[in-house]
C-alpha cells in the first residue's frame, strides 16, 4: 500500500509548492491550482496517512500528471502543500471518500 | 474509568509544559485516566518536568496516536492551540473522536489569538479557553480551572 510519509522520506520526485504556511493558504493554493479538487473530512486516510486540517480539506487530483496535491501538516513546521505521484487506484480511493 | 487525552502542540511556548502537568493533575483528580499525545520534543519536556511519572503516566507519539485513533476512544479531548498547525491538529482530533472537547488557545499576539480562536469556534463545538499568554501560565490556568469545573459539574448532573 502507498504510504505518504515513507514516500516523502525515500523519494525525490515530489514537489513542494508551499512550506511553513498556514492551512488556509495551502488549501487555497490547492483549490486554485489543481485541475480537479475533491474535499474530504479531516482524519480521513489518504495514501496511508491521516489527513490533518480544517474541513472540508481539499485534495487536488491531476490525472494527466498522475499526481495528487495535498496539505501536509507537522506540529512545529506548519502546513506544506505537496504534490506526489500516486497509482491510479489511490486517486480513485480519494474520489470514493470525497464529501462533495 | 473515563479517559482523557491531552494534545500538545509545538513545545516552543513556555506555558505548555507546566499547564500539561497541571491539567493532567486536575483531570486525574476528576477521575480521568490521562494520556498525553505529543511530538518527541514536547514529550522530553514533560519527561524532565515529571521524572517519576507522578502526574503523567501515559505518553504517546502524536503521529502514531493519530494513525490509530478511533471515534469514542477518549471521553475528553483537551488540546493546546498556540500555532496554526495546532488548530489543524485539534480540529482533526475533534472530528475523529467526536467527544467532549476543550481547546486551550493562547498566543502573545492578539491578532493570531483571535484568528486561532475563531478557527476552532467555526469548525468544532469544543469549549474554548483563551488568553493572551506566553511565559505566564496564570491567565490560562485560571480560565482552565473554570472550564474543568464546568465539565466536572456536567459529569455529575
Interface predicted TM-score (ipTM):
0.92
Look at residue A8 and tell me if it is in a domain. Answer: no
> Cβ distance B58 to B36 under 8 Å?
yes
The H or E element containing residue B58 is strand B58-61
Beta bridge pairs of residue B37: B7, B60
Q: Tell me: pLDDT of A1 over 70.
A: no
Q: Which residue in A22, A54, A76 is closest to B91 by CB distance? A: A54
pLDDT digits over B95-122, tens only? 999 999 999 999 999 999 999 999 999 9
Q: Tell me: pLDDT of B8 over 90.
A: yes
pLDDT digits over A10-39, tens only? 888 889 998 888 999 999 999 999 999 999
The full DSSP string for A17-85 is EEEEE-HHHHHHHHHHH-SEEEEE-TT-EETTEE--SSSSEEEEEETTTTEEEEEEEETTTEEEEEEEE
Q: What are the domain boundaries of chain B?
A: 2-156
Euclidean distance between CA atoms B20 and B23, whole angstroms = 5
Euclidean distance between CA atoms A36 and B41, whole angstroms = 38
Q: Tell me: pLDDT of B31 over 90.
A: yes
CA nearest B88 in A: which residue? A53
Q: Write out chain B residues lying below 8 Å of A40, CB-based.
A: none
Q: Which residue in A22, A43, A51 is closest to B84 by CB distance? A: A22
| Mean confidence (pLDDT) of chain B | 95
The whole-number average pLDDT for the span A79-92 is: 94
The pLDDT value recorded for residue B25 is: 98
Evaluated on CA atoms B92, B110, B102, B56, the torsion sign reads positive
Where are the alpha helices (H) located in B30-106, listed in sequence order? 40-49, 62-68, 84-97
CATH number, domain B2-156, options 2.40.50.100, 3.10.580.10, 3.40.50.2000, 3.40.50.10160: 3.40.50.10160
Least confident span in A8-22, B7-21, B57-71? A8-22
**Which residues contact residue B73 at a Cβ distance below 8 angstroms, ignoring those fewer than 6 apart?**
B3, B5, B97
The pLDDT value recorded for residue A9 is: 78
Q: Tell me: pLDDT of A86 over 70.
A: yes
Chain A interface includes B105 (CB < 8 A): no
Look at residue A1 and tell me if it is in a domain. Answer: no
Euclidean distance between CA atoms B13 and B107, whole angstroms = 8
Euclidean distance between CA atoms B116 and B111, whole angstroms = 9
Look at residue A91 and tell me if it is in a domain. Answer: yes
- Tell which of B88, B109, B111 to mutate to test the A interface (max A CBs under 10 Å): B88
Residue, of B156 and B88, whose pLDDT is higher: B88
A43 conformational bin, left if phi > 0, alpha if psi -120 to 50, beta if neither: left
A53 conformational bin, left if phi > 0, alpha if psi -120 to 50, beta if neither: left
B33: number of CA atoms within 13 Å, CB side? 7
Euclidean distance between CA atoms B85 and B72, whole angstroms = 23
Q: Which residue in B12, B88, B95 is closest to A79 by CB distance? A: B88
Total number of domains constituting chain A: 1
Q: Nearest C-alpha of chain A: how many angstroms from B16?
A: 13
Can you give the residue range of the structural domain that contains A90? Answer: 13-97
- Tell which of A5, A22, A54, A97 to mutate to test the B interface (max B CBs under 10 Å): A54
Look at residue A87 and tell me if it is in a domain. Answer: yes
Q: Tell me: pLDDT of B134 over 90.
A: no
Q: Tell me: pLDDT of B157 over 70.
A: no
The pLDDT value recorded for residue B156 is: 73
| Mean confidence (pLDDT) of chain A | 92
Least confident span in A13-22, B1-10, B87-96? A13-22
Amino acid at each position: 500500500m502507498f504510504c505518504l510519509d515513507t514516500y516523502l522520506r525515500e523519494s525525490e520526485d515530489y514537489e513542494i509548492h508551499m512550506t511553513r504556511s498556514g492551512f488556509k493558504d495551502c488549501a487555497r493554493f490547492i483549490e486554485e491550482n489543481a485541475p480537479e479538487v475533491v474535499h474530504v473530512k479531516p482524519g480521513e486516510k489518504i495514501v496511508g496517512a491521516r489527513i490533518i486540517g480544517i474541513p472540508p480539506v481539499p485534495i487536488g487530483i491531476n490525472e494527466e500528471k498522475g499526481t495528487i496535491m495535498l496539505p501536509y501538516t507537522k506540529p512545529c513546521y506548519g502546513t506544506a502543500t505537496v504534490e506526489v505521484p500516486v497509482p491510479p487506484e489511490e486517486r480513485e480511493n480519494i474520489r470514493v471518500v470525497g464529501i462533495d | 474509568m473515563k479517559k482523557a487525552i491531552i494534545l500538545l502542540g509545538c513545545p516552543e511556548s513556555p506555558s505548555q509544559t507546566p499547564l500539561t502537568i497541571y491539567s493532567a493533575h486536575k483531570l486525574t483528580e476528576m477521575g480521568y485516566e490521562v494520556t498525553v499525545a505529543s511530538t518527541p520534543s514536547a514529550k522530553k519536556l514533560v519527561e524532565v518536568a515529571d521524572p517519576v511519572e507522578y502526574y503523567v503516566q501515559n505518553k504517546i507519539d502524536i503521529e502514531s496516536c493519530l494513525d490509530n485513533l478511533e471515534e469514542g476512544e477518549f471521553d475528553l479531548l483537551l488540546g493546546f492551540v498556540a500555532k496554526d498547525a495546532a488548530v489543524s491538529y485539534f480540529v482533526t482530533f475533534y472530528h475523529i473522536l467526536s467527544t467532549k472537547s476543550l481547546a486551550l488557545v493562547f498566543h502573545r499576539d492578539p491578532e493570531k489569538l483571535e484568528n486561532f480562536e475563531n478557527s476552532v469556534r467555526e469548525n468544532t463545538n469544543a469549549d474554548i479557553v483563551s488568553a493572551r499568554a506566553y511565559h505566564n501560565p496564570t491567565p490560562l490556568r485560571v480560565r482552565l480551572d473554570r472550564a474543568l469545573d464546568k465539565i466536572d459539574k456536567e459529569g455529575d448532573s
